[in-house]
Structure 1
């Protein structure tokens, strides 16, 4: 009966976190949408405890906001916040690239090239989720090779806030093609063990996200989301 071990609570919490985060990034839970732990728990087939843990994490990451006894909702898109998060991620990714390149092996380069091939295939197919996953694989090679836990933790902390912007970016053919070309340049710099070039190209890749936040078509809410338009009863009490 050793295989019938209880499922760890942390696994359920992470499952809930990933599902809710992805729904926010895709727009299935749009900016300003109310979120209730009971409703989400029912939709996910989970208890409310891991959902609450997930919502607490998403609140810390800036994707969800809450006012006690008033509302819990998806945050609105605030360009200033996205630019700030993108700037931090860019700096950390640049540091990771600069530090990692001397330690890369040929297998790492192969992983990056394969991932970029998947990235191209995903963008041609309109598979934004697949493109984001492949994009992560490329940059994760450098983050892992740099061996800096603070860099990895900072990237993990701030990346969710810019995911909605990345989803929009990879949803356009021109932007996706440009990203694949930048990946090619990055991979070639890594293959040549040119740390300075890899860091410079990495910064260029992530700077495009900051620029996208300045797009005039991007929702602008510089002063923050403010109060809900109408009353929305308090969240249900904890079970």
Structure 2
């Protein structure tokens, strides 16, 4: 689709990371479709920034596999590749499993309550077929134990591969996200009970239920 018309521009003092996030989210949510060409000049006008942070953001997006740059031509949004999604999913699953294993029995009552509230919002979004709200609530839920752990290396790995996974995850929540509601409840219960192995197994299973090809993951 073309560059959105009438979108609110970003403050020119915006940090480069915010420009990256805006472009990343536009690819993940389908605003910029696979195969679409992204021209730095048009993107700069859209966001109200100079071309420099746009070019830096596109480079970062390239390392995550969301865009590909062809010399002498504009940058293009990549297609959702099953192998790339599967590889990213495996890394994400391992990182989240590690986080919840280490945080089992260590999260505060407030943190557990926040996870429960996020899951209730997730369930409501799934019931309303609001994919964007479901993705936001799902990400919030899973980020709580990760943030509590405070392992910046682990967070960096998740941040790098998460956009690839989130693109495919929209397929799951578009078709049926109700199974994830139950899995979230099991994850929260395991964390509250201090059952590290159960929490890790549930987290691993959640991410491995992600469809990687044609909306369904063979073997799940």
TM range (shorter): 0.7 to 0.9
Deviation, 1:56, is 1.4
Structure 1 CA distance for aligned equivalents of residues 94 and 61 of structure 2:
22
Structure 1 CA distance for aligned equivalents of residues 12 and 50 of structure 2:
13
For the pair shown, which has the larger CA radius of gyration, 1 or 2? 1
Deviation, 1:8, is 7.9
**Partner of residue 157, structure 2:** 154
After the TM superposition, which of the residue ranges 149-158 and 38-47 deviates more from structure 2? Answer: 38-47
Query: CA 1:112–1:122 in 2, change beyond 3 Å: closer, same or farther?
Result: same
**Partner of residue 116, structure 2:** 113
**Partner of residue 184, structure 1:** 185
2:143 to 134, 140, 144: 140
TM-score, L = length of structure 2: 0.87
**Partner of residue 20, structure 1:** 23
**Partner of residue 199, structure 1:** 200
- Is 2:94 aligned against 1:91? yes
Q: Say which SS state the counterpart of residue 171 (structure 1) adopts.
A: helix
**Partner of residue 49, structure 2:** 46
CA contact (8 A) 2:67 2:75 kept: yes
Structure 2 CA distance for aligned equivalents of residues 214 and 160 of structure 1:
16
Deviation, 1:55, is 1.0
Structure 2 CA distance for aligned equivalents of residues 148 and 57 of structure 1:
22
Two-structure CA RMSD over aligned residues (Å)? 1.8
**Partner of residue 213, structure 1:** 212
CA contact (8 A) 2:105 2:193 kept: no
What whole-Å deviation, never above 9, does each CA across 1:69-113 have from its counterpart, x for those lacking one?
133100122111110000000011101110111321111110100
CA contact (8 A) 2:103 2:191 kept: no
CA contact (8 A) 2:104 2:193 kept: no
Deviation, 1:217, is 7.2
- Is 2:172 aligned against 1:169? yes
Structure 1 CA distance for aligned equivalents of residues 99 and 68 of structure 2:
31
Deviation, 1:151, is 1.2
The equivalences for 1:50-129 within 5 A come to 50-129=53-132
Deviation, 1:65, is 0.8
Which stretches in structure 1 are left out of the alignment for 5+ residues?
A: 1-6, 219-239
CA contact (8 A) 2:186 2:202 kept: yes
What whole-Å deviation, never above 9, does each CA across 1:215-235 have from its counterpart, x for those lacking one?
4779xxxxxxxxxxxxxxxxx
